[in-house]
Amino acid sequence: VNPYSGDSTAGNEKAAQEKMAELLAEVGGRVEMFEPPADVYEQAHIVRQAPPRSWRDRPNVVAEFVLGRGGPGLVLDCHMDTVGAEGMTIDPYGGEVRDGRVFGRGASDSKGNLVMGLAAVRAMQGLGVNGRIVFQSVIDEECSGGGAGTVACCLRGIDAAAAICLDGSGLTPHNGCAGVLTPLFRVPGESGHAAYNAGVNAVEKAMLLWPAVCALKHRREAADPISTVNWTVIHAGSTSSAVPSELVGQLHMQYSVAEARKAEAAGRGWGGALVRDHVEEFLGAAAAKDPFLAEHGVKFEWIKDLYPFRTGENEPICRAITASVADVLGERRPVEPIHAWLDAAHLTVQAKLPAISFGAGTDGLAHGPVESIRIDDQVAGAAIVAQAAARFFAGE
Ligand SMILES: [Zn+2]
């Protein structure tokens, strides 16, 4: 469980990673364990200001497998951390097997996919292929983690030609996702006794921004449905008798590959820099219509800017997984991008690897009170990954 999940007993990634290292070594992997550097996001030039996190006792496990005579490398990357287990109505850690499913926290997202990857490696060892697998069991994807584990792998340098991120559900491959922005803004006020209408109420001032947030939402979502905007966090006030001197809000925003491309063309890097400018200008202009806010200003901080990614459908790894899905499942499933952000973005942006995401989880069960995965889906997923790797190594 991710130590930032809010669970009172969370924070035992290391024990699970040691078990993972043991399993990977047992099947012939050359295993390394390492913690991400404290400044992992700064080193990778990723906007990620608050709240700060620690990676102490939270190692990644990376194992290399040389198959046959070796050859081009393929990354299998899977996050091993999970969201909290409090509030689950089953035993989160029991691993109960019933009705063809395994039950427990992480079964669908994403420990079940970690096991699928391990099974795929074992299957490949029997296929007589020539290639290399770089297996990455990584930390801190969940609970608003920014994928520090995967970023740390990228910073160390990955000797590979493509990647499959083992995450998600439905045995459907995804070749892209939206970027995610989290602005935090501080709306000022002045404290005073509520009985005398003293001070300036920061809550009232913040409400002046509400129409602008709605306008931003409607405009962006009309231009591209992936570019969602939601006001998700509000903190203000400490006692009902005092007029609050500050309101702190956060939005959750998404942005498209086209917007990241524009920022890159403008010399601002692949990411949401232009969207960030626009949000500050747009909400800033709305605030400036109020004399008090015009004088004191609304301050913006950017908690998160996780870039989007898109891998071309003609990339060998895309073709390999599509062909293998068709082979194993007996139906064609086109690769397509999804809304939710994926760790695969780091592999394409930081390590410059064509990447796709593929998982055997069950839709709608991740993070829920009764999480499970179908064993048949794990087996089919392992077969698909193993076949896709074989196709990729053979240059098909
Ligand atoms: Zn996941």
Q: Which residues surround ligand 1, an ion (CB under 5 A)?
A: 109-110, 167
Locus of tokens 């109420």? 201
Q: Given this model, what pLDDT does residue 289 score?
A: 97
* pTM of the predicted structure, to 2 decimals: 0.91
- The Cα 110–Cα 391 span in angstroms is 25
| Cα torsion angle, 256, 262, 264, 269, sign | negative
Ligand 1 centre to CA of 357 (Å) is 10
92 CB burial (10 A radius; 0-12, 13-18, 19+): buried
Give residue-wise pLDDT tens across range 286-323: 999 999 999 999 999 999 999 999 999 999 999 999 99
Q: Given this model, what pLDDT does residue 49 score?
A: 66
Nearest to 116 by CA among 88, 65, 80, 156: 80
Ligand 1 centre to CA of 114 (Å) is 11
Ligand 1 centre to CA of 388 (Å) is 21
Report whether pLDDT(10) > 80. Answer: no
Ligand 1 centre to CA of 317 (Å) is 20
Q: Given this model, what pLDDT does residue 50 score?
A: 62
Rounded to the nearest integer, the mean pLDDT of the chain is 95
Ligand 1 centre to CA of 361 (Å) is 9
Give residue-wise pLDDT tens across range 230-256: 999 999 999 999 999 999 999 999 999
- Total Cβ atoms within 10 A of residue 383: 18
Residue 301 forms beta bridges with which residues?
184
Helix 375-394 and helix 111-125, axial crossing angle in degrees, nearest 10: 50
Ligand 1 centre to CA of 167 (Å) is 5
Give residue-wise pLDDT tens across range 42-94: 999 998 866 789 999 999 999 999 999 999 999 999 999 999 999 999 999 99
Ligand 1 centre to CA of 165 (Å) is 10
Could you tell me the CA-to-CA distances from 138 to 127, 361, 386 in Å, in that order? 27, 18, 20
Ligand 1 centre to CA of 1 (Å) is 12
Ligand 1 centre to CA of 301 (Å) is 27
- Stretch 359-383: mean pLDDT, rounded? 95
| Cα torsion angle, 342, 345, 347, 350, sign | negative
Ligand 1 centre to CA of 241 (Å) is 44
CA angle 177, 254, 319 (to 5 degrees): 10
Peptide bond into 51 cis (omega under 30): yes
Ligand 1 centre to CA of 360 (Å) is 11
Ligand 1 centre to CA of 203 (Å) is 36
Give residue-wise pLDDT tens across range 146-191: 899 999 999 999 999 999 999 989 999 999 999 999 999 999 999 9
Ligand 1 centre to CA of 110 (Å) is 5
Give residue-wise pLDDT tens across range 16-31: 999 999 999 999 999 9
Locus of tokens 């913690």? 35
